[in-house]
Amino acid sequence: MSPKRQPTWFLSHGGGPWPYMDGPFRHHFGPLEAALQAMPGQLPEPPKAVLMVSGHWETPGGFEVMSSPQPGMVYDYGGFPAHTYSVVYPAPGSPELAARVQQLLAEANLPCSPNPAQGFDHGAFVPMAVMYPQAQVPMVQLSLQLGEQADVHLALGRALAPLRDEGVLIIGSGLSYHNLRMFGPEGARPSQQFDAWLQATLALSGTARSDALLRWTEAPSARQAHPRAEHLIPLMVAVGAAEHDTATCPYHQTDFFGGLTVSSFRLG
What pLDDT, in 10s, does the model give residues 158-176?
Answer: 999 999 999 999 999 999 9
In a domain, 137, yes or no: yes
Assess if residue 1 is contained within a domain: no
Find out whether 54 and 234 touch, Cβ atoms under 8 Å: yes
Asked if residue 19 belongs to a domain, the reply is yes
φ, ψ at 149 (rounded to 5°):
-75, 110
- 44 domain residue, yes or no: yes
Q: Does residue 153 lie in a domain region?
A: yes
Q: What does the CA dihedral 92, 55, 264, 90 come to, rounded to 10 degrees?
A: 20
| Contact indicator for 11, 126 with CB cutoff of 8 Å | no
- Any domain includes 22: yes
**What Cα–Cα distance (Å) separates residue 157 from each residue in 94, 164, 233, 246?**
19, 11, 11, 16
Burial class (CB in 10 A: 0-12, 13-18, 19+), 5: middle
Distance between CA atoms of residues 64 and 130, nearest Å? 25
Q: Is residue 3 part of a domain?
A: no
Please spell the DSSP secondary structure of 166-228, one letter per residue.
GTEEEEEEE-S---GGG-SGGGHHHHHHHHHHHHHHHTS-HHHHHHHHHTGGGSTTHHHH-SS
**How many angstroms separate the CA atoms of 49 and 160, rounded?**
14
78 φ, ψ (degrees, to nearest 5):
-140, 150
Host domain of residue 261: 8-267
Give the orientation angle of helix 233-240 with respect to helix 206-214, to 10 degrees: 160
* pLDDT at site 143: 98
CA–CA distances in Å: residue 104 to residues 4, 27, 29, 148: 20, 41, 36, 21
The reported pLDDT for the residue numbered 184 is 85
56 domain-assigned:
yes
Q: What's the chain's average pLDDT?
A: 96
Q: Residue 76 is part of a domain; what is its CATH number? A: 3.40.830.10
Residues of the chain with pLDDT under 50: none
What confidence tens digit (pLDDT) does each residue in 66-107 have? Answer: 999 999 999 999 999 999 999 999 999 999 999 999 999 999
Q: 183 Cβ partners below 8 Å, 6+ apart?
A: 257, 260
Counting the structural domains of the chain, the total is 1
From CA 229, how far away is CA 176, in angstroms rounded?
Answer: 10
Question: Chain centroid to CA 68: how far?
Answer: 20
The alpha helices in the chain, defined as continuous H runs, are 24-27, 30-38, 95-107, 122-131, 150-160, 188-202, 206-214, 222-225, 233-240
Q: In this predicted structure, what is the pLDDT of residue 251? A: 97
Task: Give the per-residue pLDDT at 258.
Answer: 85
